[in-house]
Structure 1
Amino acid sequence: MRKKIVFIIRDLGYGGAQRQLITLVKNLDKQIFNTTVIFFYANGSLQKDLENNNIQTICLEKRGRWDIFGFLWRLMGHLKRIQPDSLHGYLSESNLLTIFLKPFFLSTSIIWGIRDSNISLDSYDWLDRLIFEIECLLSRFVDLIIVNSHAGQAYHLSHGFPAKKMVVIPNGIDTERFQPNSEAGLRVRTEWRISKDTILIGLIGRLDPMKDHPTFLKAVALLCKERENVCFVCVGIGTHEYAQELYQLAEELEVAEKVIWAGGRADMPDIYNALDITCSSSSYGEGFSNVIGEAMACGVPCVVTDVGDSAWIIDDTGIVVPPNNPEALKAGITSLINIISSKSYSSCHIRQRIISHFSVLNLSLKTQNSLLSINVL
């Protein structure tokens, strides 16, 4: 009989955790697992992807943060019908929810998914900070904790998470979807009116303080004082207020004409292929950056800050710089431009790093083995 596993996540919008969840459930062995994905909020852009792959999805139609009792009633009803062998939370809210459900489903194993590392708690509101503190206290009652980065494991161990219940399983990158495609990249560059002689540097990620766009923009300003044949693009969305702050900063730094704000895009393989360099300027919180892995799968070299597992992901294929340091980021980008200009790098070598170490097969097999190793199952 197949094991019934229910994944619980806040939403199915565009996001690293959401995309990894979808990648995982699509590739779990359907002869072994009967999978359901339950999510809080409707209108997620990625829901169709699951449905098209015959994965059962259930939306709880949560109406806001304080819609609690009706939300829990609906959730309990679905879980009583399914009677899952395992509940797998994705991110803090869902993790806590699974542990509070445990008394009602005593024979169900509880699995947490940890997707971040060095969290800057001062950047979050009181409820998020409280959730993390409770998560630390209750982590010992979980059957299995899957962390997607070594940095995330170290951080949570330092906050009291139980070592014997934690396992690191890196993200899996779909190298069939993310692969070199110069024609697709050229189409995007034509759309943005970027000539083939211009060096295009991209920062991919939601507009959020964690991604540290200000440091990126300051590095852009420094680089533009030395070079004219460079252009920059930021792909991602965020709150209107924060976006306006970033637009204003670009104006103040006198680089607004050099930066394209592309918003959210569904054609990410094409976007990566349009870039000469991908930049990750995150200052905290990253576990395993999908963006770095996806860019590398497309053969694009990366400049990354030493946050989370970013340095381990790129290994010898790119440049690592300290976070919160525009001068170091600018120097790293300059070094990579010089390497590219001298043609002393190999896009095949960059891509092979992902194929060898961060495949979807590796993700699915390691997850399956971990799930099946739980005594309750």
Structure 2
Amino acid sequence: MKALHIITGLGIGGAEQQLRLLLKHLPVDCDVVTLTNPGSVADGLVADGVRVTHLGMAGNRDLAALPRLTRLIRTGGYDLVHTHLYRACLYGRLAARMAGVRAVVATEHSLGDSQMEGRRLGAGVRALYLAGERLGRMTVAVSPTVADRLKRWGVPAPRIEVVPNGIDLDRFRFDPGRRLRTRRRLGLPEDAYVIGGIGRLTAGKSFGTLVQALARLPDDHWLLLVGGGPEESVLRRTAHEAGVADRVLFTGERPYVPDGSPGPDLPSLTAAMDVFASPSPEEAFGLAVVEALACGLPVLYASCPAVEDLPAHSAPGARRIRGGPEEFARAIAATRAADPRPRTTPEAALHYGITRSAGRLMDVYAAVTVPSPSPRKVSSS
């Protein structure tokens, strides 16, 4: 089988890094097209041996990109097209149909109750989404919560399959030596209690809640924010105004880099934390939470379908927080005061191993590449 993955961009983000990890575990010959922004994840894919094509799309209404994408699909001889993220799903499904490929799968990574990829979910967005969805064979939801949202939108249940995001369990397994080295590299005091947050620094992630919570905690508490984005300057200003700027560390974007690359990678930074906090009020899956659980961290979250869709006993170290800075500060203090749990991987994280997710996706591929039965001829006799 030969598959083409089409994604809106390849800067660092959850969907982008999930695609790279997935391609390492799919027993399929895969190429990738990025409509725009061939960032560091594109470099990583190329290093992995994946062919990446940048379509050079100028914007959402660059219709000239459609015939270019159609030609690329047609000449590539692909058996299946798999799209990721809103713009790529719209253009990719249509181009695949125009190129004669009927096996079209789209993964819905980011559909929330009120927004998708930071875009408010108005009637126009919904109508365009549903029009594009009808051009595909299957929509993959990254959680049962997202599947329910798709059904409420009007996507027929038989066209939805749940394939959760996956993580590399071995990479995130806790290593005390890596923790010590990373904390020293970051210049953290030995007695620092480190609150961690991972994700794009956007308004929707609500990392300002953690900055304000830090101001309510003793001076030996530090905040480690892993990620980049347009809200970084706002968060820095918030930290300065709250008097905690000297206890907030910004690492910038950290992809899954090979050993020996400049700066610690994401698993190393996770190991350096003492508690993980995710104040984002609306998530489609909660990948960073699952990665933190895999590292054995206690987790405080506002929204995480990946945890909420499983039995409570599968993630004993995870606790949902309803409220703002004051509630998060109290929860952080209570977590520190409690008897520490051993840094082991709970059942919830084991449920989301990348090998399992890749296997479930292959089942979807097998289902959509089965030729539709031809209409039976009616005998004239």
Write out per-residue CA displacement over residues 26-55 of structure 1, whole angstroms, 9 at most, x where no aligned residue: 2111xxx32111111254212233233332
1: CA distance, partners of 2:303 / 2:36: 33
Q: After the TM superposition, which segments of 4 or more aligned residues of structure 1 sit over 6 Å from their partners?
A: 126-129
User: Does 322-331 or 169-178 show the bigger shift?
Assistant: 322-331
Q: Does 1:60 align with 2:55?
A: yes
1:323 is displaced (CA, Å) by: 4.7
Letter of the aligned partner of 2:342 in structure 1? S
1: CA distance, partners of 2:190 / 2:208: 27
- 1:262 corresponds to which residue? 251
1:199 is displaced (CA, Å) by: 0.7
2: CA distance, partners of 1:220 / 1:238: 21
Letter of the aligned partner of 2:223 in structure 1? F
2: CA distance, partners of 1:372 / 1:122: 28
Letter of the aligned partner of 2:334 in structure 1? S
1:117 touches 1:149 (CA, 8 Å); kept in 2? no
Write out per-residue CA displacement over residues 43-75 of structure 1, whole angstroms, 9 at most, x where no aligned residue: 421223323333222221234445431x22321
Write out per-residue CA displacement over residues 326-372 of structure 1, whole angstroms, 9 at most, x where no aligned residue: 23222322222122xx23x222243x5423x1111101110001110
1:140 touches 1:162 (CA, 8 Å); kept in 2? no
Match of 1:347 among 323, 327, 343: 343
Alignment RMSD: 2.5
Q: What is the TM-score with the length of structure 2 in the denominator?
A: 0.86
1:231 touches 1:258 (CA, 8 Å); kept in 2? yes
Alignment of 1:323-334 (within 5 A): 323-334=322-333
Letter of the aligned partner of 1:74 in structure 2? R
Alignment of 1:57-136 (within 5 A): 57-69=52-64, 71-121=65-115, 124=118, 130-136=124-130
Match of 1:287 among 264, 284, 287: 284
Alignment of 1:33-52 (within 5 A): 33-52=28-47
- 2:377 corresponds to which residue? none
- 1:160 corresponds to which residue? 154
Secondary structure of residue in 2 paired with 1:23:
helix
Letter of the aligned partner of 2:72 in structure 1? H
Write out per-residue CA displacement over residues 231-288 of structure 1, whole angstroms, 9 at most, x where no aligned residue: 111111112xx3222222222323222212222234111101111111111111x222
Gap regions ≥5 residues in structure 2:
256-264, 373-381
The 1:57–1:292 alpha-carbon spacing in structure 2 relative to 1, beyond 3 Å, is same
Gap regions ≥5 residues in structure 1:
none
The 1:123–1:67 alpha-carbon spacing in structure 2 relative to 1, beyond 3 Å, is closer
1:113 is displaced (CA, Å) by: 0.6
Q: What is the TM-score with the length of structure 1 in the denominator?
A: 0.87
The 1:56–1:64 alpha-carbon spacing in structure 2 relative to 1, beyond 3 Å, is same
2: CA distance, partners of 1:354 / 1:277: 16
1: CA distance, partners of 2:180 / 2:212: 28
1:24 is displaced (CA, Å) by: 1.3
1:138 is displaced (CA, Å) by: 3.9
What number of residue pairs does the alignment pair up?
360
2: CA distance, partners of 1:294 / 1:124: 23
1:139 touches 1:162 (CA, 8 Å); kept in 2? no
- 1:146 corresponds to which residue? 140
Secondary structure of residue in 1 paired with 2:344:
helix
- 1:244 corresponds to which residue? 233
